[in-house]
Structure formats: structure tokens, C-alpha cells
Structure 1
Amino acid sequence: MSGSVFVTGSTGIVGSAVVENLRAKGQSVIAAVRKETDAASLPPGVEHRVFEFGATDDEVDAALAGADRLFLMRPPAIEDVATYLFPLIDAARRNGIRQIVFLSLQGVQGNRKTPHYAVEQYLKKTDAPYTSLRPNFFMQNLSSTYAADIRERSEIYLPAGRALTALIDARDIGRVAAAVFSEDGHLRKAYTLSGEQSMGYRRVARIMTEVLGRPIRYARPSEKEYLAKLAGDGAPADYVAVQKMIYRVVRWNISALPNRAVRKLTGQPATTMRQFVEDYRNVWS
């Protein structure tokens, strides 16, 4: 009998979508949570276990008991993946995990400075049974990180210039993860996941204007203005540095190319920006 999928980050934007879509496919899930109270946000009936990256070998082995697959994602606060993520990969192999689906990022193969690159290389080096998902920028950034600017000032305040981005709905990443966990043929493969529409933030603002029924504008600050605002709002220096790098990548149009990977892997098209805004409209009300 097939075992369960152990899902790290199970209460986050992507992890919760993985849990939901695995359950929709009838798969058994073990949701990893940092503390017992976090389990309240899980769907009813989902098994959960308290788990922390950096736990002892015995604690990790106990957490993985009964699982035969692992959804692995790096918590944003963890940079030292050798100390905190590599031991979980080792434990997965030690416990007979037959597939590790790793949430990586688009273009990781050309960006050796990212922690995701180190994880992908370790998965290959150890001959782990991996599948890497390399998503583009999330639509959900608009409904989380940048939601307050849109809700309170009716503006998208990002230094993306005139660049295009093929944004992807995190729920589609969950659908893809559930698909590759549920089918054969995905081991030691990497999939770049983008939306099927490539657009600039001026067009995003226009769609939001039409759906929300009030003017939303794309402010288009300079990099200097944007970083100064982050610093003024009290953002940590390392977060400011990451944002600087991210939006330079955007302005170089590295994330502009759409694809049909979601459609190919799930049999359904990627979520459109208009549908996303319809679904999340209450966030900006």
C-alpha cells in the first residue's frame, strides 16, 4: 500500500495548496507544522506532526514514519541549507522515501548563489529520487506582501519598469505537485512553471481596476525609491537586498516567458490573472 506524503510548509501559500490537491486525489498526507497550534489552519482530518528543520536524527525519523514521499520547501528564514535541509534529505533516503518533490525557483540552474541551487545540487549528488519544481513569481505576492499598498493606497508599488512577467498562481503549483506525486515518470526531472500569460504590472493594474471596480495604478518607482521605502518601513537589510536582486531579475525580463507546463502536467490550464483577482478580491477590499 502506498504511504503518505510528508509536506513541509504545510500551512503556507504553496504547502497548503499541495495538501489540498493531494487530498483531492485521495492521497494520504502528513502535514508538518512548527507548533501544535498551527494545525488549526489545516483542513479537518489531515494528520499533522510537529517538525522543525534542524531536529535530531531520531526526531526526523519519527516525523517521517509512515511516509514514502516528501514535499520539501525551504523556509525563507533558512539560508544555511547544508545545516538544516541536507539532513532531512539524508533522512528521507535513510527511511526509504521514494520521491522528494523540491520547491525550487525559476532560473535556479543559472543562479549559483541561491540556497535553492545548493539543494538541487545536493539532491543530484546524493542520487536522491527528486523532482524539482521551478516556479515563476507568485500571483499571491499581490494578495500578501503587496496587499496593503493595493488595499490602502490603490497602487502596485514595485520597481519592475516596463518588464513582463508570466506570473503563476501558487494553487497551480499545488496541482502540479499533487500530479507528479501521483503519477510515474517524474523522477530526476525539473519543471519550470509559469503562467500562460505574460504581462506587465500596468496591465495587472488594469485588470484589478476592472474587477475591483475602483482605479488601481502601477506606481513604477525607481529601484532607489523602492528600496528606500522598504528601509523606511523597517524592513531588515537582508530582505531589502533580496528585493533588490528579485526586481533586477524582473527588469531583465528573465521571468517574461510563459509556458504550458501546468496544462501539460495537470491537464488543466494555468489560472489567469483575471480569475486570480476575482478569487482574491476580498483581500483588497
Structure 2
Amino acid sequence: MSAIFVTGATGLVGSAVTKHLLDRGETVVGAVRSDADAARLPDSATARLFDFAGTTQQLDAALDGIDRVFLMRPPAIEDVQRYLFPFIDACLNHDIRQIVFLSLQGVQGNRKTPHYAVEQYLKLTDAPYTSLRPNFFMQNLSGTYADEIRERGEIIVPAGRAFTAFIDARDIGRVAATVLTEPGHERKAYTLSGEQSLRYARVATIMTRVLGRPIRYTRPSENDYLALLADKGYPDDYIAVQKMIYRVVRLNISAFPNRMIRKLTGRPATRFEQFVQDYSDSWHA
């Protein structure tokens, strides 16, 4: 059996990976935590119950008949040495021929992130890895920040006047499907950005035009933004991560567009206008 095991198969990126693999005629086994999650998979994908905290025997069972893996770290897992390293070991024991890991842009210079530890372990074990290092998701605006946009017509993030080369998560799915099914990508890392570099003020202008109602970028200070998160009851570790993320943004580290999506898939990255049209329901009351 030649099949691809997709972790996070019902999530934002995992579902896109699953879709594009199925479009290519691949056999996809989606990792799920429950029967309810299994019901969210496309009918042509196979659901398989899976937990990174499983025993060695359970990890082995999850990989039965699998020859390639799409690996992403669940946001709740910080201790990757305890939960992800054993899964990587199981992949190696099963002679998995490729592990595509969803990493983080700039991870090579940020040793404190779990993603850095995973990338280093993949190299240390001589795993047949491919690392994908995406920029900020456009879908943050239709997910994390959707309530403020929908209810108040405001984008509230402390990005200042910095630029960001946003990426559509669906494009990550296209890239993952490409590198999982075409040769020549083992032991490589790809930084993935969109082809536009936009200030949040420009993001608000585009959303205003496409949605037909005013959207404003409020440009809060870091302190005001962190205080807003605290008032909403977010935990300290989440607030600390947000603080780090937007300090990186304000340094314009995420500002640089590239054509890697186009190079790898033969099609350009999704433009922001198209994303807003496709996700317009996210911001309607």
C-alpha cells in the first residue's frame, strides 16, 4: 500500500493538504482524534484514530501501510521531545520515505520555538524531511481576528506600519501535495510567502472595497494590544507568543514576498483580494 498519513487532517492546513493530495489521485489516511473529526474528512480519505501521546505500539499501528507523512505540531504541544520525537522515530522504523514538516518562517534564527527543535531532530536522525516555512496566514483574519472585523469593522493588531507578505493556507496545501508527490525535495527547506507585501492599512483598504463596508486598521500600541488580550482572558503564554510575533512583524522580517509557491506548483500565490472574496462570509454578521 502506498498512502500518505496527514496529521491535523481536519485543520486549516491539513484539510488543504488532504484536498490537494486527493486531487492528485493519492491515497490519504487522515489522522483524527474522534469519530466526529472523522466525519469531517472527505469521503475519499480514510480516517485513522491517532494521538501523539500514544504508545509505541499505537504509533506503529497508525503508520501501517504508510510511506509518506505530512507532520504538523498541534498548537497545544510544546514538549516536542516527548510527543513528536517518538513519532518521528516510529516513521524511521517504518522506513517512511518522506516526512513533510509544517515549520515556521525564520525558524532557523529562533531556537526557542518547538519548530526549531523538530527541524533539528529531523536533521540529527537523517530523516528524509522537507520543511515548509510559511509566512503569516491570510486566514488569521478570517479566524483569529474575525470577530473584531465582523462586529466592529476593525483590525486590531500591533503591526505598526510594517509590511507582511501574507500566505493563503490553501497554497500551503498545494505546496505540500506537490513536494509529497514529486521527486527532488528531500532534505530541503522552503520559505513560503505570498507575492504581495502589504501594510495592514492596505489590508483594511482592500477589505473595505471587496466587502463593501468600512474596515479600519486601528494600529494599537503593543501595550494596548496585550492589555486587550488580558481583558479577554487569554492565558499568559498565549499573550507572550503574541508579543513575540508582532515584534518580529514590526521589524519587517515577514515583509519579503517570494515566488516559491509559483516555482514549486507552477501557479502563483493567491492574491489577497481573492482571499477576501472567497472568505467574505467570515466577516458578515
Q: TM-score normalised by the shorter chain: which range applies?
A: over 0.9
Corresponding residue SS for 1:48: strand
Q: Does 1:185 align with 2:190?
A: no
Q: Match of 1:243?
A: 242
Which stretches of structure 1, 4 residues or longer, exceed 4 Å deviation after superposition?
none
Q: Does 1:20 align with 2:37?
A: no
Matches of 1:281 and 1:267 in 2, distance apart? 27
The residue type equivalent to 1:222 in the other structure is S
Q: Match of 1:9?
A: 8
The residue type equivalent to 1:257 in the other structure is F
Deviation string 1:165-217 (CA, Å, 9 cap, x unpaired) is: 00000000000000001100000000000000001000000000000000000
Equivalence map 1:46-65=2 (5 Å): 46-65=45-64
The residue type equivalent to 2:170 in the other structure is R
Q: Match of 1:258?
A: 257
Residues 165 and 257, structure 2, Cα contact 8 Å, conserved in 1: yes
Is there any run of 5+ residues in structure 2 with no aligned partner, and where?
Answer: none
Is there any run of 5+ residues in structure 1 with no aligned partner, and where?
Answer: none
Equivalence map 1:77-156=2 (5 Å): 77-156=76-155
Residues 22 and 44, structure 2, Cα contact 8 Å, conserved in 1: no
- TM-score relative to the length of structure 1: 0.99
Matches of 1:186 and 1:45 in 2, distance apart? 26
Q: Match of 2:157?
A: 158
- TM-score relative to the length of structure 2: 0.99
Matches of 1:45 and 1:272 in 2, distance apart? 29
Corresponding residue SS for 1:106: coil
Deviation at 1:78? Answer: 0.6
The residue type equivalent to 1:170 in the other structure is A
Deviation string 1:132-157 (CA, Å, 9 cap, x unpaired) is: 00000000000000000000000100
Output the aligned Cα RMSD: 0.6
The residue type equivalent to 1:114 in the other structure is T
Matches of 2:178 and 2:93 in 1, distance apart? 25
Identity among equivalent positions (%) equals 70
Deviation string 1:99-121 (CA, Å, 9 cap, x unpaired) is: 00000000000000000000000
Corresponding residue SS for 1:53: coil
The number of equivalent residue pairs is 284
Corresponding residue SS for 1:271: coil
